[in-house]
């Protein structure tokens, strides 16, 4: 039995495994193609004295004793030759830029820099956790397929495919981390696109995995097969993909070329560039260290997507061009958001602010405002409006009318936030004050804590932290009816004695407010609350008031 086990282990160790290359901590191997010689490995490894050297071999033993790695017999992408040294990263980028400009005409000249940085990023893919996709969009005959052809020649393991089977794509991405170049993506069979949705939607972020059920014919059909989906990807088509995929793409708008371009791609020039890029890859991976620097981002997904392209830019000038392009993408995104259904719903809420009854606004009024200028076939159904209100964070409630119709709690702070996000410049004209941009989250939390402490502590006057109530010119009042809460000039006029006698700041439910306080003088509404109990009856609180 022991002899049989030993023989099995020896057989496994001597098993040949076709591979385009792998990366370990002190060794990097990549398959290369040498004229009149064939396929080899370029092996970049660290020596005992911490220096690095590059050599060639026809095989490489797997460090995990899974077998012997050998070059693929039929590579799926163009290969580099021996690594070629380059003068500087700026000169290498200039060569890539020139190659792209020689073979392709782009209306927006900044896109040459975006494509060049994308090429560099693919050769350093191990360094990044989030990457963008490229999408070449335009009518027929505008160079979309040529763009993918050029990326195939320059990108790390550029794999240009049309009408593939999902199983093959999942398998190759999981094992080889290629740059997928999907030509005419919208014309792929619908079943194929549906199956690849998980790969494309999740694959822009490292660590994303897709579980798939193996076929009954497979030997390990008892369990699931887990595929890694992270890899660079570029698409080409005549129309934008679905929203979920489009949000991961940087669009390059294509037009018909106005100058003469070569019919064929210069393959010798392309291989020379790949060989330089292989040397570029080796140099960066040998320096690769865990990046512990926290990168702050206030541009949402746009900031995430452009980070890798900005990081590989060889100098400040090129980085500035890409940053300018990113800024334009961000502004386009904001303009699209401001014309979205969500933005329209926010405008409809603000337009009906005078119809608010007991801090509530009827959903029916919002629907009527949205459909006011729409034709019958374009009108938005109430159900869709309800879903949108829920996505925006508004809490559903019943209106204080005989029918008990549906409505939302009129949350001014939430409305003001969406007005700012959607860049709706109507706050002042509609009488809504909003939290100033420079009012920090810490200040807002201190204000909330101060109100809650004064509400429930009756034994002694609570003292704020040092400096909490110092005058602050940058932090004006939160809302027009919340004076004293965030002015930074005075405390709210609340003392334990007043609270003991039922005065001061209270959180109340709608019923107590209507029955006990609705007709009293000196009751000032401060806004809507989403949690906590009614001060009088213990039911869920809905509104905060000041009683003087």
Q: Are residues 154 and 126 in the same domain?
A: yes
Question: 3-class SS at 348?
Answer: helix
β-sheet bridge partners, residue 253: 137
Within 8 A by CB and 6+ apart from 470, the residues are 488
Tokens representing 459? 């034994």
SS (HEC) of 105-132 = CCCCCHHHHHHHHHHHHHHCHHHCCECC
Tokens representing 24? 């370990």
**How far is it, in rounded angstroms, from Cα 301 to Cα 169?**
26
Within 8 A by CB and 6+ apart from 380, the residues are 341, 367, 370, 371, 374
Under a CB-based contact definition with an 8 Å cutoff, are residues 452 and 432 in contact?
no
pLDDT given at position 6: 54
Q: Are residues 190 and 62 in the same domain?
A: no
Q: Are residues 104 and 227 in the same domain?
A: yes
Q: Are residues 452 and 410 in the same domain?
A: no
**How far is it, in rounded angstroms, from Cα 386 to Cα 394?**
10
Under a CB-based contact definition with an 8 Å cutoff, are residues 105 and 261 in contact?
yes
Of 221, 249, 223, the closest CA to residue 236 belongs to 249
pLDDT given at position 7: 52
**How far is it, in rounded angstroms, from Cα 239 to Cα 480?**
47
Q: Are residues 43 and 144 in the same domain?
A: no
> How many residues make up the chain in this entry?
548
Q: Are residues 312 and 361 in the same domain?
A: no
Q: Are residues 303 and 355 in the same domain?
A: no
Residue 83 placed within a domain: no
Within 8 A by CB and 6+ apart from 159, the residues are 76, 77, 152, 172, 178, 179, 180, 181
Under a CB-based contact definition with an 8 Å cutoff, are residues 240 and 45 in contact?
no
**How far is it, in rounded angstroms, from Cα 37 to Cα 55?**
15
Q: Are residues 468 and 510 in the same domain?
A: yes
Residue 80 placed within a domain: no
Under a CB-based contact definition with an 8 Å cutoff, are residues 69 and 31 in contact?
no
pLDDT tens for the chain, residues 1 to 548: 555 555 555 555 578 899 999 999 899 999 999 988 999 999 999 999 999 999 999 999 988 767 899 999 999 999 999 999 999 999 999 999 999 999 999 999 999 999 999 999 999 999 999 999 999 999 999 999 999 999 999 999 999 998 888 999 999 999 999 999 999 888 888 888 888 888 999 999 999 998 887 765 555 555 788 999 999 999 999 999 888 899 999 999 999 999 999 999 999 999 999 999 999 999 999 887 655 566 777 778 889 999 999 999 999 999 999 999 999 998 888 888 888 899 999 999 999 999 998 899 999 999 999 999 889 889 999 999 999 999 999 999 999 888 888 999 999 999 999 998 887 765 444 455 444 433 334 444 444 444 444 444 433 433 444 444 443 433 333 233 333 333 333 343 333 333 333 446 888 877 777 666 655 667 777 777 767 788 777 777 877 887 76
Q: What are phi and psi of 526, to 5 degrees?
A: -100, -20
Under a CB-based contact definition with an 8 Å cutoff, are residues 97 and 119 in contact?
no
Task: Provide the whole-model pTM.
Answer: 0.72
* Domain boundary pick from 70, 98, 128: 70
Residue 492 placed within a domain: yes
Q: Are residues 331 and 353 in the same domain?
A: no
Within 8 A by CB and 6+ apart from 506, the residues are 455, 535, 536, 544, 545, 547
Rg (the chain; Cα; Å): 31
pLDDT given at position 162: 84
Residue 430 placed within a domain: no
Q: Are residues 171 and 270 in the same domain?
A: yes
CATH code where residue 355 lies: 1.10.10
Of 374, 397, 400, 399, the closest CA to residue 386 belongs to 397
pLDDT given at position 537: 73
* CB atoms inside a 10 Å sphere around CB 366: 28
* CB atoms inside a 10 Å sphere around CB 201: 18
* Domain boundary pick from 386, 421, 456: 421
Structural domain including 171 reads 89-287+298-337
* Kind and range of the H or E run holding 34: strand 27-34
pLDDT given at position 407: 93
**How far is it, in rounded angstroms, from Cα 527 to Cα 410?**
9
Domain count for the chain, please give it: 4
Residue 435 placed within a domain: no
Q: Are residues 316 and 349 in the same domain?
A: no
Residue 292 placed within a domain: no
* Domain boundary pick from 421, 454, 473: 421
Under a CB-based contact definition with an 8 Å cutoff, are residues 534 and 541 in contact?
yes
Residue 15 placed within a domain: yes
Residue 450 placed within a domain: yes
pLDDT given at position 520: 62
Q: Are residues 222 and 351 in the same domain?
A: no
pLDDT given at position 458: 38
β-sheet bridge partners, residue 409: 360
């Amino acid at each position: 039995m022991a002899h049989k086990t030993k023989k099995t282990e020896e057989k496994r160790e001597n098993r040949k495994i076709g591979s385009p290359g792998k990366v370990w901590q002190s060794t990097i191997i990549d398959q290369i193609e040498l004229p009149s010689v064939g396929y080899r490995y370029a092996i970049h490894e660290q020596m005992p004295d911490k220096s690095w050297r590059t050599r060639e071999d026809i095989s490489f033993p797997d460090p995990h004793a899974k077998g012997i790695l050998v070059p693929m017999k039929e590579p799926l992408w163009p290969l580099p030759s021996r690594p070629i040294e380059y003068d500087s990263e700026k000169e290498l980028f200039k060569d890539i830029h020139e190659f792209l400009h020689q073979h392709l005409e782009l209306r927006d000249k900044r896109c040459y820099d975006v494509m060049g940085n994308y090429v560099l990023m693919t050769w350093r893919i191990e360094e990044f956790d989030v990457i963008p996709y490229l999408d070449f969009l335009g009518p027929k005959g505008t160079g979309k397929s040529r763009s993918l052809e050029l990326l195939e020649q320059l990108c790390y393991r550029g794999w240009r495919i049309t009408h593939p089977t999902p199983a093959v794509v999942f398998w190759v991405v999981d094992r080889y981390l290629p740059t997928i170049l999907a030509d005419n993506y919208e014309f792929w069979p619908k079943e194929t696109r549906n199956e690849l949705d998980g790969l494309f939607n999740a694959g822009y972020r490292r660590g994303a995995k897709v579980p798939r059920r193996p076929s009954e014919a497979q030997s390990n059909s008892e369990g699931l097969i887990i595929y890694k989906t992270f890899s660079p990807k570029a698409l080409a088509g005549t129309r934008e993909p679905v929203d979920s995929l489009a949000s991961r793409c940087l669009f390059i708008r294509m037009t018909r070329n106005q100058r003469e371009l070569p019919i064929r791609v210069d393959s010798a020039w392309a291989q020379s560039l790949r060989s330089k890029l292989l040397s570029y890859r080796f140099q960066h991976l040998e320096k690769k260290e865990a990046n512990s620097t926290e990168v702050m981002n206030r541009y949402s997904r746009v900031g995430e997507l452009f980070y890798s392209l900005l990081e590989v830019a060889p100098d400040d000038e090129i980085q500035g061009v890409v940053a300018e392009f990113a800024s334009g993408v961000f502004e386009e995104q904001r303009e699209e958001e401001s014309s979205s259904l969500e933005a329209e719903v926010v405008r409809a809420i603000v337009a009906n602010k005078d119809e608010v009854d007991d801090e509530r606004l009827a959903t029916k009024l919002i629907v009527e405002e949205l459909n006011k200028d729409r034709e019958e076939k374009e009108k938005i159904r109430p159900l869709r409006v309800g879903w949108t209100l829920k996505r925006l964070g508004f809490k559903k409630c019943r209106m204080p009318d005989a029918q008990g119709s549906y409505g939302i709690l009129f949350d001014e702070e939430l409305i003001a936030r969406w007005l700012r996000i959607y860049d709706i410049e109507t706050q002042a004209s509609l009488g809504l004050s909003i939290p100033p941009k420079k009012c920090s989250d810490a200040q807002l939390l201190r204000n909330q804590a101060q109100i809650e402490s004064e509400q429930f502590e009756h034994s002694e006057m609570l003292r704020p932290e040092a400096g909490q109530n110092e005058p602050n010119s940058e932090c004006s009042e939160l809302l027009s009816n919340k004076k004293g809460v965030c002015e930074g000039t005075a405390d709210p006029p609340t003392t334990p004695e007043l609270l003991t006698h039922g005065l001061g700041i209270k959180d109340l439910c709608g019923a107590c407010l209507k029955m006990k306080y609705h007709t009293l003088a000196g009751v000032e509404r401060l806004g809507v609350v989403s949690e906590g109990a009614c001060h009088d009856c213990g039911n869920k609180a809905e509104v905060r008031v000041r009683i003087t």
